[in-house]
Structure 1
Amino acid sequence: MNSYDSGDADFQRHSQFISTSVQKIYQNVSSMNRMVNQVGTAQETPEIRQQLHQIRTYTQQLIKDTDASFKDIVNCKDRHLKIQRDRLVDEFTAALTAFQAVQKKTVELEKNAVRQSKAHISIPKPPSSKTNNSYSDSPFENNFVDNRGQTQAQQQQEEIDLQALEEQERTIRELEENIVGVNEIYKKLGALVYEQGQTIDSIEASVENASVFVTDGTEQLRRASHYSNQARKKKVILALILATIVAVILLLIFFRN
């Protein structure tokens, strides 16, 4: 991870990408909501499902790319860059929440569709292999042929329904995996920002403590210099007093002699 100084071009480039990505995520979520509302209704078409799958896949990749860009700006140290980063974190988190909501809505619709499909799909019974040639010219022969044709058509429809059911179940698994993936991005992003915030706070606290220590040290040196000057003055005064006393004693001795 790289750290960035104030006005660093890389930081601004990543920030711009993140901001643009957040807007695209919101736009995609809006489109997905419109498509999801058509699922299970008369307006639903295979084209809508295909478009929904494409836009969901694109948004999922966009989220991963945006998360990668956050890793490149999380180590910023300047306070105004930290404020900008935290704002982007909040915006990206809100966009993720909106994306998760539409995915969960899609999962519920798909699960309901699967339950309804399973309730209507029945296992076809193979027609009886026993035939009686004596009835080949029977008036019921045409009905048997018609019934056999209907059975084959039912089997084909059952196969189509089973394929559609399998596709719905694959979609559900994919959606659930996407939801788990986005939840992991939530956790990683929160952990990165928290860890970096703790580190920066620790550094700032150390700097502030060092500043306090320097200030205290300067004050102590000033006081020590003051006390030293006072002590020096006292020594000079004492020396002058002693010299005066000695001079007086010498004068007394001189005049007495």
Structure 2
Amino acid sequence: MSFQDVQTGGGARSSSSSYMASKSPSQAVAAGIFQINTAVAAFRRLVDAIGTAKDTPDHRLKLHNTRQRILQLVKETSAKLKALTEPDHDPTVNPSKKVEDAKLARDFQNTLQEFQKVQQLASERESTYSPAPPPPSLPTTSSGSDESLPQEKQRLLMEQRRQEVILLDNEIGFNEAMIDEREQGIREVEEQIGQVNEIFKDLAVLVHEQGVVIDDISSNIDASSVSTTQARGQLAKASKSVKPRTSWVSRKLLISRLLLDMKCLIFVVEILVMKCDLQR
């Protein structure tokens, strides 16, 4: 049974544990491939939102969790496929079973290729865009010059400007945390690409042992393996570009904070001068 059989034959109609337990080994592999395809489609939607208004820290967390879930499904399905094809080494095995198992291997390989494409796109966008920080909430004040405000409103304005300094501190800290998080994310993606690359190699061995060639699956697997190696090189370049780009943002925020500190100092001096004039 191939993955297409599951799509048309209802192999994934129920996700209950009892139903899963009743599946044959080939059905279990096909169902695993179906689950991976579904998760990859959801992963692609999350990747498409990177760099948009939806790109928040929570969105990046969903992206990370979805990526981890896909990798876990890939590992589980790979193990099931190996167990399924193990008896095929016996020369007495029905040749039709070998053909069906080779079809499943092809479907699994195509699914991994699609995951690798989306994974590569995700790594490129994550290294280019930073998630938007939480929107600041500042107290509002009425318009007019500082000198004309009553003492209570002056205190409120001072508190507002103090909050602005705190928000700038938080934004600087947020960007510094994003530097660390993005570097860690790049390392995770690189590790996952390596793991999927190993699965590609296992698939190549499996197809060779099967002795069945369908749609030149072996050459496709070799091409996918090369693609993962190239992706790792691109991730290395992305890792080098993260620090300069994000550190420039931090420097810009630091300059903004210094300017705001100077404004606050000037504001305090103006209030003191105004009080001295009133006392005279």
TM over 0.5: yes
- Cα deviation, residue 155, structure 1: 3.4
Q: Which amino acid aligns with 2:105?
A: V
- Cα deviation, residue 189, structure 1: 1.6
TM-score (norm 2): 0.52
Deviation larger for 161-170 or 81-90: 161-170
In the alignment, the residues of structure 2 paired with residue 47 and residue 150 of structure 1 have an alpha-carbon distance, to the nearest angstrom, of 24
Say whether the 8 Å CA contact 1:110–1:168 is kept in structure 2.
yes
Secondary structure, aligned partner of 1:74: helix
Partner of 1:182: 196
5+ long unaligned stretches in structure 2: 1-20, 133-158, 213-280
In the alignment, the residues of structure 2 paired with residue 31 and residue 80 of structure 1 have an alpha-carbon distance, to the nearest angstrom, of 34
Partner of 1:124: none
Partner of 2:205: 191
Say whether the 8 Å CA contact 1:18–1:69 is kept in structure 2.
yes
- Cα deviation, residue 46, structure 1: 3.1
Cα distance change, pair 189–148 in 1 and its aligned pair in 2 (3 A):
same
Cα distance change, pair 177–146 in 1 and its aligned pair in 2 (3 A):
same
Find the structure with the greater CA-based Rg.
Answer: 1
In the alignment, the residues of structure 1 paired with residue 53 and residue 167 of structure 2 have an alpha-carbon distance, to the nearest angstrom, of 24
Identity within the alignment, %: 32
What is the RMSD of the two structures over their aligned residues, measured on CA atoms?
Answer: 2.9
Cα distance change, pair 166–85 in 1 and its aligned pair in 2 (3 A):
same
- Cα deviation, residue 78, structure 1: 1.6
Partner of 2:275: none
Partner of 2:52: 41
In the alignment, the residues of structure 1 paired with residue 210 and residue 109 of structure 2 have an alpha-carbon distance, to the nearest angstrom, of 17
In the alignment, the residues of structure 1 paired with residue 179 and residue 36 of structure 2 have an alpha-carbon distance, to the nearest angstrom, of 29
What per-residue deviation string (whole Å, max 9, x for no partner) do you get for residues 165-222 of structure 1? Answer: 2112211111111111101100012113313439xxxxxxxxxxxxxxxxxxxxxxxx
**What aligned pairs does 1:50-129 form with structure 2 within 5 A after superposition?**
50-75=61-86, 76=88, 77-113=93-129
In the alignment, the residues of structure 2 paired with residue 167 and residue 36 of structure 1 have an alpha-carbon distance, to the nearest angstrom, of 17
Aligned length: 161
- Cα deviation, residue 14, structure 1: 1.7
Say whether the 8 Å CA contact 2:98–2:210 is kept in structure 1.
no
Partner of 1:161: 175
Secondary structure, aligned partner of 1:103: helix
What per-residue deviation string (whole Å, max 9, x for no partner) do you get for residues 87-114 of structure 1? Answer: 0010000000011111111000111126
Cα distance change, pair 47–155 in 1 and its aligned pair in 2 (3 A):
closer
Say whether the 8 Å CA contact 1:32–1:56 is kept in structure 2.
yes
Say whether the 8 Å CA contact 1:107–1:176 is kept in structure 2.
no
In the alignment, the residues of structure 2 paired with residue 148 and residue 31 of structure 1 have an alpha-carbon distance, to the nearest angstrom, of 43
**What aligned pairs does 1:204-223 form with structure 2 within 5 A after superposition?**
none
Partner of 1:129: none
5+ long unaligned stretches in structure 1: 1-9, 118-144, 199-257
Say whether the 8 Å CA contact 2:29–2:77 is kept in structure 1.
yes
In the alignment, the residues of structure 2 paired with residue 96 and residue 55 of structure 1 have an alpha-carbon distance, to the nearest angstrom, of 15
Cα distance change, pair 166–30 in 1 and its aligned pair in 2 (3 A):
same
